[in-house]
Structure 1
Amino acid sequence: MVSSWLVYPIEATPGVGGGYRFGAGGHMPPLLLEEDEVVAVTVALGVGAQGISAIGEPAVRALTKLDQVMPPRLRGEVAALADATALLPGATDDVDTGVLVVLAHAIRDRVRARFGYTGRTGEDSERDVEPYRLVATGRRWYLLAWDLRRQDWRTFRLDRMSGVRASTFRFTPRPTPDAVEHVRRAVTRSGYAHRVRVRLSADAADVRRRVPQAYGTATSLGPGLTELESSADDLGMLARHLTLAAFDLGARLTVVDPPELAAAIDEFTTRLADVRRGG
């Protein structure tokens, strides 16, 4: 038996083990969540369910409840985002949900996307791309796309986009590289203002447990010696993280490049010593 109370479909099961539950296709209650808020909450819960172990199970339960009362049209919005998004481990920065929805629809519908883009050195350009995949890393959201001007695969940070819009020009899908690996390599290579290499007197497995892949790539150079590549916009922040990682591992830290990182580490450790002395 299916009945309705207000705008909710209610499914009732008779008998000793029976009861009531929300049916599928109900409308969101008025004055509680706007449609864009429903999409935003669902996206946030999806990221939490995939990537943050402490809230993964509650996020899945909440997603299930939302799905039961979500109107079919909004379920299509959410499904488009889910199909278009991949996740690397770790929490992500805030991102405009409207940008996510526009890009997810462009990916789903196989239409070109256009946007203004500010590169890491501050130059502005207009981009016309074939969008293929959204990837959430430990710190950023990225779009993997075929850049029509450069005729090559490119990754774009969503927080550097402006005026994002989907066009009406459809495209035929190309053979696509693995989105997660492509973004990981691109981020390590040039996604941030500073790229560094250090060596730690620790096994690679231990370094990987301390430094997630989203934050650095660890390569074994032999027993008890690992080279770590990492990137950041703030060199001082990177110096702090690497120093603390070496401390936690009980490892010796040697800077390979750039020399500015060694200076930043010296500055950080000097400040720590001043704090210890009360200076």
Structure 2
Amino acid sequence: MEERSVVTEVRGGAMWITLNRPEAMNAISPEVVDGVGRALDEALARDDARVVVLTGAGRAFCAGADLKFVRGETGGGQSGAGQFLASLLELLNRLERFPRPVIAAVNGLALAGGLELVLCCDLVLAARSARFGDAHANYGLLPGGGGSVRLPRKIGAARAKYLMFTGEFVPAAAMEAAGLVNEVVDDGALTQAVDALVAKIAAKSPLGVSRMKALVNDGLEQPVEVALRQELLMTALHEHSDDLREGLAAFQEKRAPRFTGH
């Protein structure tokens, strides 16, 4: 793996995964795909990483997939480019389904594949100066990381088509109004705001949060009647969890619960 193309740090109940190619505006390379995948493996193995935070080094969150790999200029030709895009899509799918909450801390430009990364996160906090855009149309490209599927589901078809057809970059406040961004904060306050959100989530039952995430993700793709049945089944399963017993005991004893994720 290319040295430090992805940097990780665990603090305050979260693993921070930082895309670390600032000279390339954190464009996604095969090394970045591999590095984020390894970081997710590590987060899953650690009890002190109850939340994952994804961000970028420098002035960009992520400017998208590195076009030299999209064009197949890696010695592998178009088959190499296809393999790269397939591995990127696999990572994005995994990120969306990751069993722990994933927060995007958008510190700058989030374009094309960078926007697709954001779309796979559960919660999005953005610096006021951040900009979002699909950008594929600017280079004659098509979304290859699920953008045409996830973007309209997040912000509606009309807004998604506008971003896709025009290639425009829009401010964080506009994406907050559209429903993609949960909160816009001053540029210097992004890390502090994310830390505060992590603290709120990390104090809750890891098992409960994980199961709620699965219920929401699965329920969005199913008829209401089916989703409600799944919720009832999950609730019945959850009744046997240590975290539920601990939560009820803490309520009875008027103390803060000590959740273990079991």
TM-score, normalised to structure 1, is 0.29
Greater relative contact order (CA < 8 Å, ≥ 6 in sequence): 2
Which protein has the larger Cα radius of gyration, Structure 1 or Structure 2? 1
Q: Which has the higher helix share?
A: 2
